[in-house]
Structure 1
Amino acid sequence: MAPPHDAPSAGELIAAVREFLQGEILPALEGRTRFHGLVAVNVLGMVERELALGPAHQQAHRERLAALGFADDAALAAAIRAGELDDRYAEVKAALLDAVRDKLAVANPGYADS
């Protein structure tokens, strides 16, 4: 944890709330309220994973874009649409697959495993 903040970290606080909702609140809910509780638990899990993985994913994404010769996603997308990278298909595909894997690691890690 970076000064001046003390323990618990933001990730630890989010984990505690998620665990409380999951263990104490959800079992008592039904129907629509239970569904929204499950959504809330899922969102908190995503936030936990983004806090933990986000900085490394951001750095890796910057490096992938730089290796392809682009400063941002918009420039890469424009080049793909214009056909400027057709001769680098395998390289672009690998970079995009890595980006999707990183997104899934945060949004729904179980989906990437299936």
Structure 2
Amino acid sequence: MQDEPTPTELIKAVADFLRTEIAPAVKGHNAFKLRVGINALDLVTRQLAQEGPGDAAEAVRLKALLGIDGSVTELNRALAEKIAKGEVDLSTPGLKEHLWQTTMDKLAVDQPNYASYKRELGNKA
């Protein structure tokens, strides 16, 4: 356990510094590369913040759906195998909801400003 600041806070601070202090002075292709780097830091920050709760919720859904225990990776592999074998499909109770929630959780990390994602969040409220 480390003292403050946390790794998430450090990454966010670097991204904010680059965005506000460095980016305005950078032009051309280097500005594009800098934006890519800032976006990567923002993505890592979101991933660190949401990975634990997201994986835990996904594991609970998968365990209920499959009736077995395991890591998220193992459970996803088992689900993929069942889908490939035709043992599970969208008519299977809970599968459609699980896939939708998993997609929404991934978008929250990867593309939180994606218009369709935001619209869907608004529909849930």
- Deviations along 1:7-63, whole A, 9 cap, x unmatched? 000011001100011001111111211111111111111111111111100101111
Alignment of 1:11-90 (within 5 A): 11-69=8-66, 71=70, 72-86=75-89, 87-88=91-92
Given the alignment, which residue of 106, 109, 118 partners 1:106?
109
User: Could you report, residue by residue, the CA deviation over 1:77-108 in whole angstroms, capped at 9, with x for unpaired residues?
Assistant: 111121111340x5211101111111111111
Q: Distance in 1 between matches of 2:41 and 2:48?
A: 11
Tell me the equivalent position of 1:96: 99
Gaps of at least 5 residues in structure 1 are none
Q: Distance in 1 between matches of 2:28 and 2:77?
A: 41
Letter in 1 for 2:118: D
Q: Work out the percentage of aligned pairs sharing the same amino acid.
A: 39
Q: How many residues align?
A: 110
In the superposition, the TM-score normalised over structure 2's length comes to: 0.82
Distance 2:27 2:84 in 1: 47
SS at 1:109 equivalent: coil
Give the SS at the match of 1:83: coil
Tell me, in whole angstroms, the C-alpha distance in 2 between the residues paired with 1:102 and 1:25: 31
State the 4+ residue runs in structure 1 displaced beyond 4 angstroms.
Answer: none
Q: Which has the higher contact order (CA 8 A, sep 6+)?
A: 1
